[in-house]
Chain A
Amino acid sequence: EPEVTQTPSHQVTQMGQEVILRCVPISNHLYFYWYRQILGQKVEFLVSFYNNEISEKSEIFDDQFSVERPDGSNFTLKIRSTKLEDSAMYFCAARLGEQFFGPGTRLTVL
């Protein structure tokens, strides 16, 4: 099965700090997604990205979040000023047909 990779696997940060979560999608995939899963809760859609633009975003994806694909390979999610409630697993997914999920980044905000 095609592989989507994410780094880091675990990130610990202080409240108010900026974090960047990285995803390396499958090379020929065109559509990219970020999802969030707060511990013990369901997986929630954050944002979709196509052709270097956001194509859809949820109400969770507010001004503190941003996404970009700076070098044509990595796909990043930036959280400008982290809050305690941002602690969650963040999954990247890439699509060509169906979505393939990465292994996730566990973000812990202290």
Chain B
Amino acid sequence: AQTVTQSQPEMSVQEAETVTLSCTYDTSESDYYLFWYKQPPSRQMILVIRQEAYKQQNATENRFSVNFQKAAKSFSLKISDSQLGDAAMYFCAYRSGATSGTYKYIFGTGTRLKVLA
């Protein structure tokens, strides 16, 4: 069975600085997808970034980028130029590829990010 681990329950960053959130996962599959979701106090789950396992290039979305290390099964999220609005819970998630027949997401326990003014 696949597992997702987020070892940092809470992180803090100064406004305008850079922070990296860690995520590791375990799987025997070769085809899968990884995600970072943001959950602000409103509790809405918002997709931040997505990475296909078959792509070597790290995904980027504006100030958000990932460091995907497939061999190490590591998928960290880097937030550059942190803003007060980035404060939220961040969840790492795993989904198997299409050939598995399952599309359920497996989530980590989350990292609470605080942004200090």
- Does B associate with A? yes
Mark A residues whose CB is within 8 Å of B.
Answer: 31, 33, 35, 37, 41-45, 48, 56, 58, 89, 91, 95, 98-101, 103-104, 106
A16 to B104, CA, bound (A): 29
Q: How many A-B residue pairs have CB under 8 A?
A: 46
- Flag if B43 contacts A45 (CB, 8 Å): no
Contact of A91 among B35, B45, B93 (CB under 8 A): B45
Closest to B35 in A: A98
- Flag if A101 contacts B109 (CB, 8 Å): no
- Flag if A45 contacts B106 (CB, 8 Å): yes
Give the size category of B's interface with A. Answer: 20 to 34
Mark B residues whose CB is within 8 Å of A.
Answer: 35, 37, 42-47, 50, 91, 93, 102-110
Give chain A residues whose Cβ lies under 8 Å from the Cβ of B93: 43
- Flag if A104 contacts B44 (CB, 8 Å): yes
A48 to B106, CA, bound (A): 13
Contact of B104 among A33, A91, A104 (CB under 8 A): A33
- Flag if A101 contacts B45 (CB, 8 Å): yes
B111 CB, nearest partner CB in chain A, Å? 11
- Flag if A101 contacts B91 (CB, 8 Å): no
- Flag if A43 contacts B91 (CB, 8 Å): yes
Give chain B residues whose Cβ lies under 8 Å from the Cβ of A33: 103-104
- Flag if A98 contacts B50 (CB, 8 Å): yes
Give chain A residues whose Cβ lies under 8 Å from the Cβ of B42: 103
- Flag if B108 contacts A42 (CB, 8 Å): yes
Contact of B103 among A43, A44, A48, A101 (CB under 8 A): A48
- Flag if B102 contacts A43 (CB, 8 Å): no
Contact of B105 among A41, A89, A99, A103 (CB under 8 A): A99
Q: Other CB < 8 Å A-B pairs besides A48-B103, A56-B104, A99-B105, 20 of them?
A: A35-B105, A41-B109, A42-B108, A42-B109, A42-B110, A43-B45, A43-B105, A44-B107, A45-B104, A45-B105, A45-B106, A48-B104, A89-B43, A98-B50, A100-B47, A101-B37, A101-B46, A104-B44, A104-B45, A106-B43
